[in-house]
C-alpha cells in the first residue's frame, strides 16, 4: 500500500486547536491526539517524544513556538515525518506552507500523514500547494465575512464583541443587556464622578473596597477589581449614553443607556487627562467648581479666591468669585468681566430649591399613594409583557416555518426567500427592542418616583449640610445645561420637578391636599400631578442616583 518502509521513520504527532472562529468546530486536542495515536499504532509507526499540543492560531507566521521547534527538529534530522489531523492543522498562511513544502521537496520531511491523506516528497507539489492555499484562502475569506458581519451588526445598533463593564451579551437573543449585578454599581461610580469631588484613583479604591465591583467572569478571565486604566476608558466611553462607536463612526445603540449625554459632557469637563491622579487639595474644593458653563459663549466657568486686608480692623477677608474663562476664540464674550460671588450663587440655588421642595406631610402621603399605584401598574405591565412575549413567539415561529419551507424545497426562489427572511428578522428585532424598553420602564417608574419625591423632600437639607459631595450632587440634579449669564444661574428644570413647582405655586391647592389623608391619596391633583407624569418619563431620566 505504501511505497516506503514507513516503520523505519521517526514521527512527531502534532495537534492544534486555537480559539479562532475558523477552528472552533475542529475536534479537541485530546480527540485529535487519541485518533492519531490509534492510526499510528495500526500502521506500526514510531512516534518520537510526547504529542505536540498547540493552542496558537496558524493564521500568521512565526506565531507558534511549538510548531517552530518541531521544524527545527526536522532541519536537524531528529525526526522524519509528521502525523496531523489535516494539513490545515500545520498551516493556514503561505509562509509556513511554503516552508513545509520546501522541507518535503528536500526530503527532510519524508512523510506527512493526515487522517484523510498522505504526502510524500515524490508527490506532485501542485496538489500540496493547492490544498495549503485553500486553507489560507479560507482564513482570508472568513476574516472578510467576519468584518462584514461586525459592520452590519454595528449598523443595526448592536455591539460586536464584548461590551464594557455594566453590560453583558445575551447569548440567546444576541443583544447587549444591562448586567444585573454591576449596572447599578457602575452608575454609582458615574454619580460620584459627576460630583467633581473624586479623582479616578479614589474611585478605583471605592469600586474595590466599598462596592466590591469586579470584572465579569468569562472563561479563565475576570473576577478581578476594576483597573485604573479600565475606569479611565469607562469615563470616556460614549457607549454609556446609548451610542455605539465602531471604526471611527457612531451608530444609535439598541442597548439601555446608563447616563444622559449632558451627564457625559459634565464628566468630560471634570476629567483632566494629564492630572487624573492629582491629589485633591482643599484649595480646589470650591463648592460650585466645574458645575456651570457660560450662558453666552458656552465655555467653562472658572473660580478665583481673593483675599483683602481690611485696614480699619486688620482682618483679612476671603472672597470667592466665579466668571467665564473667556477662552472661546470664535465669540467675543462679555461675561469674563462680570464676576459673581459664591455667596450670591448659593443664595440663588436655595431660592430655586424652594420651588422644588415638598414638606414632610406631603412626602409621607405621596409615598403611600405610590404603594397603592404600584399594584395597579404591576398588573398592567404584566399584561403588556405577556402580549410582547406572544408577538415575539409568533415572529419566531414564522421564521422557523420559512426555513422549513426552504429545506423542503417549497421556497426555492432565492430573492423572495432572502427578502422575506430579512423582513421577518427585522420585525423580530423590532418586537424584542420594544419589549426590552417597556420592561425597563416598568421596572424603573417606581424607582424614579421614589427618588424624585425623596430629592424634593431632602434637597434643601442636603444642600445646607457640610458634605461637599451631597451639596454638589443637589446642584447637578436640579436640571440640564447649568449656566451662568449676567451673574444669574440658568437651567432647564428636569421634567419630574415641573409638577412639583406648579403645585408649590398654588399654595391653596397644596394646603387642601395635605389637609386629610383620605382625600390626599385619592386626590386627582395628586394622581395627575405626582404619579402619572412620573410613569411617562423617558428611560434616560436619572433624577437622584
Instruction: Check which CATH number belongs to the domain holding 147 and give it.
Output: 3.40.50.1390
- Out of 247, 280, 313, a domain closes at 280
Tell me: do 147 and 162 sit in the same domain: no
Chain position carrying cell 420651588 = 355
C-alpha span between 333 and 225 (Å, rounded): 46
- Out of 236, 263, 280, a domain closes at 280
- pLDDT digit string, tens, across residues 11-36: 999 988 765 544 444 557 788 888 88
Tell me: do 20 and 46 sit in the same domain: yes
Least confident of 139-153, 199-213, 473-487, 514-528: 514-528
Tell me: do 374 and 230 sit in the same domain: no
| Joined grid coordinates for residue 524 | 386627582
Q: What pLDDT was estimated at residue 367?
A: 63
Most confident of 236-245, 264-273, 523-532: 236-245
Model confidence at 281: pLDDT above 50 = no
- pLDDT digit string, tens, across residues 88-107: 888 888 888 888 888 998 99
Instruction: Write out the H or E segment, with its range, that includes residue 53.
Output: strand 52-54
Tell me: do 371 and 485 sit in the same domain: yes
Tell me: do 164 and 86 sit in the same domain: no
Classify 101 as helix, strand or coil: helix
Tell me: do 490 and 459 sit in the same domain: yes
Sequence-distant contacts of 199-207: CB under 8 A, at least 24 apart? 199/276, 199/277, 199/278, 199/279, 199/280, 200/228, 200/231, 200/232, 200/235, 200/271, 200/276, 200/277, 201/228, 201/276, 201/277, 202/280, 203/231, 204/228, 204/231, 207/231
For residues 154-177, one letter each, b for 16 or more C-beta atoms within 10 angstroms of the residue's C-beta and e for the rest, the string is bebbbbbeebbbbbbbeeeeebbb
Residue 276 or 61, more confident:
61
Tell me: do 34 and 76 sit in the same domain: yes
**Domain annotation covers residue 291:** no
Q: What pLDDT was estimated at residue 282?
A: 46
**Domain annotation covers residue 482:** yes
Q: 93: domain range? A: 6-153
Q: What pLDDT was estimated at residue 428?
A: 87
Q: What pLDDT was estimated at residue 492?
A: 82
State if pTM tops 0.85: no
Q: What pLDDT was estimated at residue 326?
A: 87
Torsion of CA 440, 442, 444, 449, to 10 degrees: 160
Give which of 76, 86, 28 is closest to 48, Cα–Cα.
76
Tell me: do 143 and 232 sit in the same domain: no
Amino acid at each position: 500500500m505504501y511505497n516506503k518502509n514507513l516503520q523505519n521513520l521517526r514521527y512527531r504527532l502534532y495537534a492544534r486547536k486555537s480559539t479562532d472562529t475558523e477552528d472552533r468546530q475542529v475536534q479537541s486536542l485530546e480527540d485529535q491526539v487519541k485518533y492519531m495515536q490509534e492510526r499510528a499504532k495500526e500502521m506500526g509507526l514510531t512516534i518520537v517524544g510526547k504529542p505536540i499540543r498547540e493552542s496558537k492560531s496558524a493564521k500568521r507566521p512565526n506565531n507558534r513556538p511549538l510548531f517552530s521547534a518541531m521544524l527545527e527538529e526536522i532541519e536537524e534530522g531528529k525526526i522524519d515525518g509528521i502525523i496531523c489531523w489535516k494539513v490545515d492543522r500545520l498551516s493556514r498562511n503561505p509562509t509556513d506552507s511554503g516552508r513545509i513544502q520546501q522541507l518535503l521537496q528536500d526530503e527532510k520531511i519524508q512523510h506527512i500523514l493526515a487522517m484523510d491523506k498522505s504526502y510524500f516528497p515524490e508527490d506532485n507539489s501542485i496538489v500540496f500547494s493547492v490544498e495549503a492555499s485553500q486553507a489560507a484562502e479560507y482564513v482570508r475569506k472568513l476574516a472578510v465575512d467576519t468584518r462584514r458581519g461586525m459592520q452590519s451588526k454595528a449598523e443595526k445598533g448592536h455591539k460586536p464583541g464584548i461590551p464594557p463593564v455594566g453590560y453583558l451579551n445575551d447569548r440567546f437573543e444576541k443583544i447587549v443587556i444591562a448586567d444585573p449585578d454591576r449596572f447599578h454599581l457602575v452608575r454609582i461610580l458615574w454619580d460620584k464622578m459627576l460630583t467633581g469631588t473624586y479623582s479616578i484613583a479614589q474611585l478605583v479604591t471605592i469600586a474595590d473596597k466599598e462596592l466590591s465591583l469586579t470584572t465579569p467572569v468569562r472563561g479563565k478571565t475576570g473576577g478581578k477589581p476594576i483597573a485604573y486604566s479600565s475606569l479611565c476608558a469607562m469615563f470616556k466611553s460614549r457607549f454609556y449614553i446609548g451610542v455605539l462607536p465602531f471604526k471611527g463612526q457612531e451608530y444609535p445603540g439598541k442597548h439601555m443607556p446608563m447616563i444622559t449625554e449632558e451627564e457625559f459632557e459634565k464628566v468630560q469637563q471634570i476629567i483632566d487627562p494629564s492630572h487624573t491622579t492629582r491629589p485633591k487639595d482643599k484649595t480646589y474644593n470650591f463648592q460650585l467648581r466645574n458645575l456651570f458653563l457660560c450662558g453666552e459663549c458656552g465655555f467653562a466657568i472658572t473660580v478665583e479666591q481673593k483675599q483683602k486686608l481690611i485696614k480699619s480692623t486688620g482682618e483679612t477677608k476671603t472672597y470667592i468669585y466665579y466668571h467665564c474663562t473667556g477662552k472661546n476664540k470664535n465669540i467675543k464674550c462679555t461675561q469674563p468681566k462680570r464676576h459673581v460671588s459664591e455667596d450670591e450663587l448659593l443664595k440663588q440655588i436655595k431660592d430655586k430649591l424652594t420651588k422644588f421642595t415638598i414638606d414632610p406631610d406631603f412626602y409621607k402621603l405621596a409615598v403611600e399613594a405610590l404603594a397603592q399605584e404600584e399594584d395597579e401598574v404591576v398588573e398592567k405591565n404584566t399584561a403588556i409583557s405577556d402580549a410582547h412575549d406572544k408577538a415575539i413567539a409568533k415572529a419566531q415561529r414564522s421564521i422557523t416555518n420559512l426555513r422549513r419551507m426552504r429545506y423542503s424545497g417549497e421556497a426555492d426562489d432565492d430573492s423572495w426567500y432572502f427578502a422575506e427572511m430579512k423582513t421577518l428578522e427585522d420585525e423580530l428585532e423590532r418586537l424584542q427592542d420594544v419589549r426590552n424598553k417597556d420592561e425597563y420602564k416598568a421596572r424603573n417608574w417606581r424607582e424614579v418616583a421614589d427618588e424624585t419625591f425623596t430629592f424634593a423632600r431632602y434637597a434643601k437639607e442636603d444642600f445646607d449640610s457640610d458634605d461637599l459631595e451631597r451639596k454638589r450632587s443637589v446642584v447637578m440634579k436640579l436640571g440640564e445645561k447649568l449656566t451662568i449669564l449676567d451673574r444669574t444661574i440658568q437651567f432647564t428644570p428636569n421634567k419630574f420637578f415641573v409638577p412639583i413647582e406648579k403645585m408649590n405655586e398654588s399654595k391653596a391647592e397644596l394646603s387642601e391636599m395635605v389637609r386629610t389623608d383620605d382625600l390626599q391619596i385619592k386626590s386627582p391633583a395628586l394622581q395627575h400631578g405626582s404619579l402619572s407624569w412620573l410613569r411617562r418619563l423617558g428611560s434616560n431620566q436619572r433624577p437622584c442616583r
